[in-house]
C-alpha cells in the first residue's frame, strides 16, 4: 500500500521543496508514496501551482480569518487536524515551508508522523550545539524564520550552515533529526547566495527523508533516529 503524504506549505515560501517531493514521487525515486493533499495557509501561495499542475487536491486554511471571527489558534489546529484525518488520513505530514507553529494537541494526532524542514543545522533533542562534519561546534539556529536563520549563520561567522529534516515534537525545533544537509559558507556569501545553495541541498535531503520514512527505515530510539 502506498504511503499517503500530506504536504503543508505557506505563502512565505516558493513551493520548491514541494516540487522536489512531487518530482521524486513522479520519477519513481519514492515509489511507494502518493501525495494526497497540499495544504496552504493562503490561496496565493506559489506552491499551490505545483499541486494544481499535478492534479493534487488542495486545502486552504487561513489563520488570519480565524482571528477575524474571534476563533483561536487552537480552533485552527483542531480544524486542520480534523480535515486531515477525516478527508485524507495521511501516513506522513511534511512541513515544507509551513510557518504556523502547530499545537501539542495537533501533534498528538500524528505522533512520529510529522517531519519538518528547518533552515539551520539542528542537533538531536534540546542540545544547544551541533557539530559540523569537520568537528567544529556551532550554536544551533532555532526559532528563526528562513532569512533570519540564514543571516544568523553569516553574522556569527559560522564556517557552514545548512538545513535539517526532523520529526516534530511539541518543543519547537527539538525533534529527532533525520538528515542534516551541511552547506559550507564561502567568504563572499550573502543571505541570497548562501540560501540558494542551502535550497539545492534541501531538494536532496527532504525527498530522501520522505523516501526513508515511506520505506519504514526510520526508527526513533531514545529520541534519536536509527536508519535501518
Ligand atoms: C525552506 O527553505 C525551509 O527550510 C523553510 O521554508 C523554506 C521553504 O522553501 N522552512 P520553499 O517554499 O520550499 O521554496
| pLDDT of 79 | 98
* Distance in angstroms (rounded) separating the CA atoms of residues 199 and 92: 22
Is the CB of residue 163 below 6 angstroms from any atom belonging to ligand 1?
Answer: yes
Query: Which residues are bridge partners to 226 per DSSP?
Result: 219
Contact 150, 161 (CB under 8 A): yes
User: Which string of b and e fits 188-206 if b means at least 16 CB within 10 Å?
Assistant: ebebeebbebbbebbbebb
Which tens digits make up the pLDDT trace of 102-159? 999 999 999 999 999 999 999 988 899 999 999 999 999 999 999 999 999 999 999 9
| pLDDT of 125 | 82
Tell me, in angstroms, the distance from the centre of ligand 1 to residue 17's CA: 6
Tell me, in angstroms, the distance from the centre of ligand 1 to residue 88's CA: 23
Grid coordinates representing 26? 513522479
Tell me, in angstroms, the distance from the centre of ligand 1 to residue 129's CA: 22
Which residues does 213 contact at the CB level (< 8 Å), separation at least 6? 3, 92, 115, 178
* Distance in angstroms (rounded) separating the CA atoms of residues 57 and 51: 7
Model pTM score: 0.97
Residue nearest to atom 6 of ligand 1 (CA): 97
Is the CB of residue 40 below 6 angstroms from any atom belonging to ligand 1?
Answer: no
Catalytic residues: 118
* Stretches in the chain below the pLDDT threshold 70: none
Residue whose entry in the numeric block shows the C-alpha cell 551541533: 130
| pLDDT of 173 | 81
Helix (H) or strand (E) holding 218: strand 218-221
Is the CB of residue 144 below 6 angstroms from any atom belonging to ligand 1?
Answer: no
Contact 21, 209 (CB under 8 A): no
Amino acid at each position: 500500500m502506498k504511503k499517503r503524504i500530506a504536504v503543508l506549505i505557506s505563502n512565505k515560501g516558493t513551493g520548491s521543496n514541494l516540487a522536489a517531493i512531487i518530482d521524486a514521487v513522479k520519477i519513481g525515486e519514492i515509489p511507494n508514496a502518493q501525495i494526497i493533499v497540499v495544504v496552504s495557509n493562503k490561496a496565493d501561495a506559489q506552491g499551490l501551482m505545483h499541486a494544481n499542475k499535478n492534479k493534487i487536491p488542495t486545502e486552504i486554511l487561513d489563520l488570519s480569518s480565524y482571528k477575524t471571527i474571534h476563533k483561536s489558534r487552537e480552533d485552527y489546529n483542531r480544524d486542520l487536524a480534523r480535515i486531515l484525518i477525516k478527508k485524507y488520513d495521511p501516513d506522513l505530514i511534511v512541513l515544507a515551508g509551513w510557518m504556523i507553529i502547530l499545537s501539542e494537541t495537533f501533534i498528538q494526532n500524528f505522533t512520529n508522523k510529522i517531519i519538518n524542514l528547518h533552515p539551520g543545522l539542528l542537533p538531536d533533542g534540546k542540545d544547544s550545539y551541533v557539530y559540523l562534519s569537520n568537528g567544529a561546534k556551532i550554536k544551533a539556529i532555532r526559532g528563526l524564520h528562513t532569512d533570519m536563520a540564514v543571516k544568523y549563520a553569516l553574522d556569527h561567522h559560522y564556517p557552514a550552515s545548512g538545513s535539517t529534516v526532523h520529526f516534530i515534537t511539541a518543543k519547537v525545533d527539538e525533534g529527532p533529526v533525520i538528515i542534516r544537509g551541511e552547506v559550507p559558507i564561502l567568504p563572499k556569501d550573502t543571505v541570497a547566495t548562501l540560501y540558494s545553495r542551502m535550497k539545492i541541498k534541501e531538494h536532496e535531503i527532504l525527498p530522501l527523508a520522505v523516501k526513508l520514512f515511506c520505506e519504514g527505515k526510520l526508527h526513533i530510539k531514545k529520541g534519536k533516529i536509527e536508519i535501518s
